[in-house]
Structures are given as C-alpha cells and as structure tokens.
Structure 1
Amino acid sequence: RLGIAEYLHSTLGDRFAPPQILKDKVARGELGRKSGKGFFDWTE
C-alpha cells in the first residue's frame, strides 16, 4: 500500500502524500497479516 501511496503522491501532488505512520510501520517491517504486526496484532 505504501507503493500505491507514493505513486499517487508523485502523480497527484502533496495532497496525496503517504502518512508518516505508514512509512514508519513499513520501515519496521510491520506489514499486517504478512508479518503478524501492523495497525493490528495478528499473532493470536
């Protein structure tokens, strides 16, 4: 999803810049179900 947000930002301008929290989570490897963590805890 970050890739999509970055594409929209580069194409449509600053209004579509990805949120910093999304960038931070991707940088930490918190990719949702794929990694077991993200905005939710998927370890259970």
Structure 2
Amino acid sequence: LNWPMGPFHLLDFSGLDIFYGAMQDRRRQGAGAGAPKVLEKLVKAGHLGRKTGKGFFEY
C-alpha cells in the first residue's frame, strides 16, 4: 500500500481519544459497533498516543 506509517502509528499520531470518540459517535448513530475494548482501555488509562507519550507504542 506504500503508506508512510501503519494504522496503529497513525492512530497514535492522530490521538486515540479522537478515534475513540468517533467510534462511539458511530455506535450512537447506529452505524457501527463502537470502539474496540483495547482502545477503550488505553483511553481510560490516559494513554492517548504521541501527545501523552504512550498509546499503542511508547514515545
């Protein structure tokens, strides 16, 4: 696919809280299943990606 970064790096770069909120909005609108549990755990623990130094990866 020649992406400059993989999907988990992209989520960390964008902010896990942003993606989590979007997934929860889609669920409320009936358009999706909501956020995966692993994402929910990371966000609730304050691991939001690059902006906090921890997400799927440590920075």
Normalising by the smaller structure, the TM-score range is: 0.7 to 0.9
- Which consecutive unaligned segments of at least 5 residues does structure 1 have? none
Which residue pairs with 1:34 in the alignment?
Answer: 51
Task: Point out which structure has higher relative CO (alpha carbons under 8 A, 6+ apart).
Answer: 2
Q: TM-score, normalising length from structure 2?
A: 0.62
Q: Does 1:20 align with 2:37?
A: yes
Identity, in percent, stands at: 34
How many residue pairs get aligned? The number is 41
Q: TM-score, normalising length from structure 1?
A: 0.80
- Which consecutive unaligned segments of at least 5 residues does structure 2 have? 1-18
